[in-house]
Chain A
Amino acid sequence: MLKLITDLILTYIGTVTFGVLMNVPRRSLNLGGWIGTISFLAYRLCIAANLGIAVANLLGTLIIGILSMQAARYKRMPVINFNIPALVPFVPGGQAYQMIKNFALGNVGEAISFLLQVAIIAGSIAFGFLLAEMVNRMQTKLMVQFSSRWSHENRNNPKL
């Protein structure tokens, strides 16, 4: 439990400082950090419930995608400011490194098994974003029907 809390604090710090490196505007750093922390918590809970890395990454990035869009609408900033820093804890750094190391040292069999893990994680991250995009579009469609402000703002949105 203590380990999880330290991890979450460090995730927040890591997300915010990665945002600094990408020159994310100062007013969106904090919110990006929170999105990263919440989605990483979801990821850890999935791992703890033995759902496997694919589902955990998919759910984590789905939450990043949905929350980033809400944050972008709330702050009126591009969504890229929130989802790029928040994605950092999901990068399969460990597996990618093991793959490189095993290739370099000639253990091709092990290297390929790590390569497959990297591919699984990358695929589930991509599909998490795809699902989030779908949810966001459905939200826009619903809100346009029920709110006059939304339909005014989206009157010439070609995606609808």
Chain B
Amino acid sequence: MTNDQGHLMIKTALHAGRLMIENGSEIARVSDTISRIASNAGYPDSKVYVTITGIMMSVSGEENAQIEPVTSRSIDLEKITMVNDLSRDFADHKITLVQFEEQLTVLDHHSHYFPLWIQLLSAGIVSGALEVVFRHNYPDFLVTCVIGLIGWGIFYVINRIAKIRFLSEFLASAAIGTLAILAVRYHLGTNADDIIIGCVMPLVPGVPLTNAVRDILSGDLVSGIARGMEALMSAIAIGSGIAMILQAV
């Protein structure tokens, strides 16, 4: 790359793209954002190729393309929104390219997750509320809340230690199955099936599933299929955790 401005543009655009994919954005939005950043920085004819595991980008007429691998993956929709806001600010000339890159670095190192106790409480309420909506089993509302809370806690802790999403889903759903069956055996709940259905709802792979459909519809077939496999693996992890417990009793 011969000039610094172009170099900085590619660096910023790839950084923004990597942040969005890491936190669960669909591919069409990423390539759209990257080409908008490029055209707003004065390079309207840049080429970009985005997949779920890496981004390639080049400016037409220049020689070198650059690659940005995407290795980690989590779900944080707030980061996607903040990258989107930054990109809009850049388009409106409220921030310069240098400031954009600085703010992306800040965003990369700070996550604004809700505090753990709010997450646990939400997981409990999701479980209880959806258990009632799906099964109309009012007496089991409270016990579902408690088991859902414990299940999310296990998922969160194992995700922190092992950093393998499928493993934490598997162990969390096995724990949910065990607790639900024990709760019914000791007369704390009435129907183990309903309790389990409610409690696994916070673990459902909603983001990969929605993104898989959206990616395939918008023509990003490679990423769509990869994302579909991710969702399927999560579903299999949850299902086999539950099935293992059901077979054991």
Contacts and interface: CB of A to CB of B under 8 A. Distances in A.
Nearest to A20: B122
Nearest to A6: B132
The DSSP consensus for interface residues of chain B is helix
Interface in A66-114: 76-78, 80-81, 83-84, 87-89, 91, 93-94, 96-98, 100-101, 103-105
A130 interface: yes
Contact of B76 (A17, A20, A23, A98): A23
A3 interface: yes
Contact of B152 (A21, A80, A81, A104): A21
Contacts of A55: none
A23 B110 CA distance: 13
A21 B77 contact: no
A88 B204 contact: yes
Interface in B210-235: 210-211, 213-214, 217, 235
Contact of A14 (B133, B210, B246): B133
Most buried by A among B39, B130, B242, B247: B130
Given A80-B80, A81-B77, A97 B196 contact: yes
Given A84-B207, A105-B246, A23 B122 contact: no
Contacts of A104: 242-244, 246-247
A18 B122 contact: yes
Interface in B172-209: 193, 196-197, 200-202, 204, 206-207
A116 interface: no
A133 B114 CA distance: 31
Contacts of A17: 121-123, 125-126, 129
A21 B126 contact: yes
Contact of B114 (A23, A89, A96): A23
A105 B26 contact: no
24 contacts: A3-B136, A10-B129, A11-B129, A14-B130, A20-B114, A20-B122, A22-B77, A23-B112, A23-B114, A40-B133, A78-B81, A80-B26, A80-B80, A83-B210, A88-B130, A91-B201, A94-B135, A96-B239, A104-B243, A104-B244, A125-B213, A126-B213, A129-B217, A133-B217
Can you list the 8 inter-chain pairs with the closest CB atoms, starting with the nearest?
Answer: A14-B129, A104-B243, A17-B122, A10-B129, A20-B122, A100-B239, A17-B125, A17-B126
Interface of A: 3, 6-7, 10-11, 13-14, 17-18, 20-25, 28, 40, 76-78, 80-81, 83-84, 87-89, 91, 93-94, 96-98, 100-101, 103-105, 125-126, 129-130, 133, 156
